[in-house]
Amino acid sequence: MTGRKNKVWTGATGALFTMMVCSTLLAAGVDESTKISDIFGAKSGYVHPYVSASVVSSDNINSTHTDKTSDIMTVLSPGIWLAVPASRNQLLSLATSSYTPGGLDLSRDKVDYFQRYQFYLLYGANIEKYSEYEQNDSMEQKLEGIFQYNFRGGLTFEFLAQGKQTRDPDYLTESTNQDNFISGLTGLSVSYELSDMLRLRLDYTGFRVDYDTDTNSFKDRADNSYAGYLFFVLSPKTELFLEYEAITVGYDRSTISDSSQTQIVGGVKWQVTEKSMAKLRLGQATKTFDRTGLDPVTATTLELTGNHSFTQKSSINVMAGSKLRESSLATADYVVNQVVSVGYQQFVTTRLAGKISLVQATDDYMTNTTTSRSDTVLMTTINAEYTFNDWFLGELGVSSIQTDSTLDTIDSERNDIFVRASAAF
């Protein structure tokens, strides 16, 4: 078990290192004036270290229904990212989940970097230390990157990878033990500009997840995802697309049935105004199980994202989604997940900003076609940020997580107060 988990992490790390080497060689070939010393820090814009330190006071550190335990923890979050060619902005953020078939929690658009090639690599960690309950001390870490090469004539190759060591949310389990796992994701995307108005894209993604304990080993699995897209550019501000995706889900154990999932999705990406943008994906997913006696399942797939700037000082973003997910319970076959989120930001001055975030997620655990359990989670965060200069930021805020379940022992409430200082270079 441990050897296989090491292979998951090592495989993703090796893939990212290969991308780094290839990018270095390309840098030398495309721009002869670029030196290795320039790439690795001697030239501004290539390497960006960052760190944040937080102090969090919680009234229920294990998110339990009864026997609540309060404590104070410190969180140190160091990281570093690099980009070749140089960039002052982070270029990638992969949202992955151990319960999403194929691994990617949100669809990902092709990003045009307007360079012949682009390499990006990020490493980040969260180190948690508790004042009293040291058995809860933990470390999460992530390594992810992308390498994109744009050929003349409209052909683009893109390779991405992520290795992650993390854990399931505490508020969705009856156990006070941490459900830790390692996941690895690799992906290849090929796109071709057929014309100014038409683009074709083919994607492959491989995803592997392995949990630490034998109790959770029934969730260990490997997924393979194949997708095809056709994009129609109606105007510089409006793009339509069609998507077909096929995913195979293979568990190491037979506790949860292996399955095949296909989905057909259509959508639109619309730059409504200079201040507003929206994206809609709507379609149908069909999940077929390998185990005899389980009927195929059909569900609506929805993903809506949008943002709007009211003024230069105020903005809002919204997201709504519905999809099929894998089960975290040995007694359920699959999960119907629905989520809605709203975030609002208001600048009081050029340095002081206030933010509020509301997220509501519902998971219906299905056994055959019957709901065996339903969880609704409401997450609220209110914080104020003060920018001291272009590299140092301070935050003060409160957050709350409330879980309401048909299984009473899952019901919980956790309230935190946090102070955070962040520096980025």
Rounded Cα distance between 364 and 366, Å, is: 6
Q: Mean pLDDT over residues 138-147, rounded? A: 96
Rounded Cα distance between 207 and 296, Å, is: 23
Strand (E) positions, 131-179? 138-150, 155-167
| Per-residue pLDDT band at 268 (split at 50, 70, 90) | very high
Q: Mean pLDDT over residues 315-329, rounded? A: 96
- Percentage above 70 pLDDT, the chain: 88
Most confident of 85-89, 117-121, 389-393, 416-420: 416-420
pLDDT digits (tens, 9 = 90+) for 170-182: 877 766 678 999 9
* Amino acid 87: pLDDT: 86
Closest alpha carbon to 302 in 324, 322, 317, 278:
322
* Amino acid 24: pLDDT: 46
Residue range 2-424, CATH number: 2.40.160
- Report residue 348 as tokens: 């009081």
pLDDT beyond 60 at 160 = yes
Q: What are phi and psi of 74, to 5 degrees?
A: -110, 140
* Amino acid 3: pLDDT: 53
Rounded Cα distance between 86 and 390, Å, is: 18
Rounded Cα distance between 39 and 393, Å, is: 27
Total-model pTM? 0.87
Rounded Cα distance between 383 and 397, Å, is: 4
DSSP letter (8 states) at residue 104: B
Closest alpha carbon to 196 in 157, 232, 229:
232
* Residue 128, burial from CB neighbour count under 10 angstroms (0-12, 13-18, 19+): middle
Handedness of CA 408, 73, 212, 362 (dihedral sign): positive
| Per-residue pLDDT band at 258 (split at 50, 70, 90) | very high
Rounded Cα distance between 331 and 406, Å, is: 15
In the chain, where the domains are located: 2-424
DSSP letter (8 states) at residue 169: -
Give the least confident one: 87-101, 224-238, 260-274.
Answer: 87-101
pLDDT beyond 50 at 36 = no
pLDDT digits (tens, 9 = 90+) for 190-215: 999 999 899 999 999 999 999 999 99
